Amino acid sequence: MTSTILVTGGAGYVGSHTTRLLLDRGYRVVILDNLSTGHIEAIDSRAELVRGDLQDKTQIEAAFKDRDIAGIFHFASNILVGESMEKPWIYLRDNVVSACNLLEVAMAHDVKRFVLSSTANLFDAPDEIPIKAEARIAPGSPYGESKYAIERLLGWMERIYGLASCCLRYFNASGAHPDSTIGEDHHPETHLIPIVLQVALGQRERVTIFGDDYPTVDGTCVRDYVHVLDLAEAHLLAFEAMKDGKSRKYNLGSGSGYTVKQIIDHAVAVSGKPIPYTVGPRRPGDLPVLVADTKKIADELGWQPRNSDLETILETAWNWHLAHPQGYSTPKA
């Protein structure tokens, strides 16, 4: 029988790409999304949408009604590190309460598998680079803290209810679907690659590089950019592996790092457009280098970052921006 997966945040960036892959592989998908930051146009027509808010358990119940949910992919959350330093309660409280509500309803319906969208922001004080899945946890913000709290909740769900979970700590999610129908569209946009491409499109005057006095090859920060399709694939592999009833935690990146200046240079080559930049002050909280060690997920699940070379990331992102210069058409506040 076809399994039904509940995808929270299926109208968002990683959620919409993962939904597409699930549907392509023959799963049924029900999306639970309040569309506060997600986009209705990002929802695949083969998926069912239950418009609802995780803060309200009755709205979560609506997604379970008359459905046999085999697993949950939990993406819906507030996701901005910087915002979380200014509005900590929508992270420390709301992200955690949403997860508690979801898990309470899920356990009442005897769900056995759960994949969590987690973050590299758990590793704010790395002892070594690349960062292994077993590295010491030191959340770098209320956002990271909220994901760590949810990872810990999942430990209790396993112990008490036998829930198998997989926590996937993304490094820098990037790129877009190769057919350019879905991609990255955040309001406000804070991420480097979309900002760089908006400059290439002439929508912004220049990129401001946040500091060029870090101990890296060119003084700008190094990050590990991983293609959103590779993230999606990892979710499916994790879900399928959890048939064995075991929980897991993995770090997900490409395993290679690029500086901010290298991203700009490659984006100039891919877009064929000038991308002016200036150097501004460091952004508070930025670490010089963040790169994932992905050996654990490669060894255990056979995952490989097949789309995460910088050319593929930038080409798919650029094609998405060309096809949707204003992003999805329904405006966000």
Residue with tokens 């949403």: 98
User: Residues 23, 107, 149, 195: which binds ligand UDP (CB under 6 A)?
Assistant: 195
Complex with ligand UDP: residue 47 or 209, whichever CB lies closer: 209
Q: How far apart are CA 149 and CA 145, in angstroms?
A: 6
In the chain, the DSSP E strands lie at: 4-8, 28-33, 48-51, 69-74, 113-119, 164-170, 172-174, 207-210, 222-223, 225-227, 248-252, 258-259, 277-280, 289-290
Complex with ligand UDP: residue 54 or 275, whichever CB lies closer: 275
Q: Select which of 143, 148, 225, 250 is catalytic.
A: 143
Backbone φ, ψ for residue 33 (5° rounding): -150, 140
**What's the token pair of residue 242?**
């959890």
The enclosing H or E element of 13 equals: helix 13-24
CB 314 → ligand UDP: shortest distance, Å?
13
For residue 327, what is the DSSP state?
S
190 binds ligand UDP (CB under 6 A): yes
223 binds ligand UDP (CB under 6 A): yes
270 binds ligand UDP (CB under 6 A): no
CB 311 → ligand UDP: shortest distance, Å?
18
Footprint on residues 237-266 left by ligand UDP (CB under 6 A): 260
Contact 226, 174 (CB under 8 A): yes
- Residue number of the CB closest to ligand UDP reads 221
Complex with ligand UDP: residue 149 or 195, whichever CB lies closer: 195
161 binds ligand UDP (CB under 6 A): no
Taking CB under 6 A as the binding criterion, the range among 31-39, 131-139, 203-211, 324-332 that sits at the site for ligand UDP is: 203-211
DSSP annotation string for 270-288: HH-S---EEEEPPPTT--S
143 is catalytic: yes
Catalytic residues: 143
What is the binding site for ligand UDP (CB under 6 A)? 172, 190-192, 195, 207-210, 221, 223, 260, 283, 286
